[in-house]
Structure 1
Amino acid sequence: MSESKGKLELFTLPGKGRAEAIRMMLVFVDKKFTDTRLTIEQWKIKRQLSNYGNDQKLPMMLVNDKRVIFGATEISRFVALNFSLYGVSSSEQEEINKVIDDLEKINVALTPIIRATLTKSYEQRKELWNVFKVDTLFPPLTKYDERLANKMFLVGSRISWADIALIEMLTRFREIYDSFYLAHFDNLRVRLL
């Protein structure tokens, strides 16, 4: 059985996070899947019972009750490849990979802000966010905003993993950190309306 026609189960922590882009892709391609959200304690038990290593973290996807894929990027790549969201040529796939690499760098740079949020250091979070916006976030957003001035999609002539991942990240940042940060980016902002 083709993996695109098989059973998919996505395991994540409760709430929104980077796995949201995976959900968005699966919904976009109209692929039914089981969306299992586990607490950290439930994940520890499942990880032990399933003999996954202690270093394995959510999200995780179970494909046809056999194949296990860990990590938001790896799962997203699997979905993109199997559901025609990874471009129509190797050059488009390379462009998509560049966008995903940019977004990964942004997400990694967000770590201090997440820590400040978790420790309820809201003043520190505000300061970190303001530096992050200018130094890390705005340069790639400027590039993508300019790219989208004359075209509908980031890569190629149809929606791809890159578009969905960018929209998910922009939405998450708007909801969690700053509802006004996109004010300078007309072409990105209209995609979230």
Structure 2
Amino acid sequence: MSGKIVLHYLNGRGRMESIRWLLAAAGVEFEEAFITKKEQFRKLADDGVLMFQQVPLVEMDGMKLVQTKAILNYIAGKYNLYGKDLKERVLIDMYTEGIAELMESIVLLPFIPPDNKQKQLDNIERKAKDRTLPVFEKGLANTQFLVGSQLSRADVHLLEVTLMLQEIFPTILSTFPKIQAFQERMKALPTISKFLQPGSARKPPPDEIYVKTVMDVFSHLFK
């Protein structure tokens, strides 16, 4: 049983989606145990498996892993997606931290009150165009991958966030040809191509049902 990977989260993107992406890119199969009710979350907390009373929770290699960054670091290290040495690793970390900041804004978007949503959309678009995407366009100027000569978690996260951006702003990559070419190369990788197909574990953009489930399951956090 120790070889089975189980993801505990809601049936939606949130902070688990990058974990799904990274496992899929590594060609690793996993199962999902969806949290749909507050009682399920409370049971995990009461059982003592949530170190900081938070999900994502990943059962893997006989461990119960929490904290998104720690989980991603472990997966990347285990499946050779974290560079060949410390210098590559720190560059990967720099890229992924920049991506995570932008992704967090997108993940929170469905929970923004309607009267503030346009302001948040404008902030996301401006940050992406002016700060984030130019970094990656430059980073991909003369190389196939962001760091070194092989796929890393930075590449996987960049593909994920740019696809998310295009869902909101369809033409946002029109002035970033290197990123567009990068996307096509990444989509052609067999494991990623499989994850992009209908019926995979990749989750769709959040809808009203997902937002309501999040609010119900974590209602104690909104009091």
TM-score, normalised by the number of residues in structure 2: 0.71
Partner of 2:153: 161
What does 1:15-164 align with in structure 2 at a 5 Å threshold? 15-41=12-38, 43-52=40-49, 55-64=52-61, 66-110=62-106, 113-116=109-112, 119=113, 121=114, 124-134=116-126, 136-138=127-129, 139-164=131-156
* Residue in structure 2 matching 1:184, options 175, 178, 191: 175
Counterpart residue identity of residue 23, structure 2: L
Structure 2: state its 5+ residue gaps. 185-223
- Check 1:53–1:77 CA distance in 2 against 1; reply closer, same or farther (3 A cut): closer
**TM-superposed deviation, 1:112:** 6.3
Structure 1: state its 5+ residue gaps. none
Separation in structure 1 between the aligned mates of residue 20 and residue 34 of structure 2, nearest angstrom: 12
CA-to-aligned-CA distance 1:119-161 (integer Å, 9 cap, x gap): 4x1x632232123321x22212101012112111111111101
Kindly report the root-mean-square deviation, in angstroms, between the aligned alpha carbons of the 2 structures. 2.4
Separation in structure 2 between the aligned mates of residue 150 and residue 69 of structure 1, nearest angstrom: 37
Contact persistence 2:83–2:92 (CA under 8 A): yes
Counterpart of 1:106 in 2: which secondary structure?
Answer: helix
**TM-superposed deviation, 1:192:** 3.2
Contact persistence 2:55–2:66 (CA under 8 A): yes
Counterpart residue identity of residue 98, structure 1: M
Larger RCO: 1 or 2 (CA < 8 Å, sep 6+): 2
**TM-superposed deviation, 1:70:** 1.1
Contact persistence 1:9–1:61 (CA under 8 A): yes
Q: Percent identity?
A: 22
Contact persistence 1:13–1:40 (CA under 8 A): no
Separation in structure 1 between the aligned mates of residue 125 and residue 35 of structure 2, nearest angstrom: 31
Q: Give the count of matched residue pairs.
A: 182
CA-to-aligned-CA distance 1:90-118 (integer Å, 9 cap, x gap): 100010111121122223445763432xx
Counterpart of 2:33 in 1: which secondary structure?
Answer: strand
TM-score, normalised by the number of residues in structure 1: 0.81
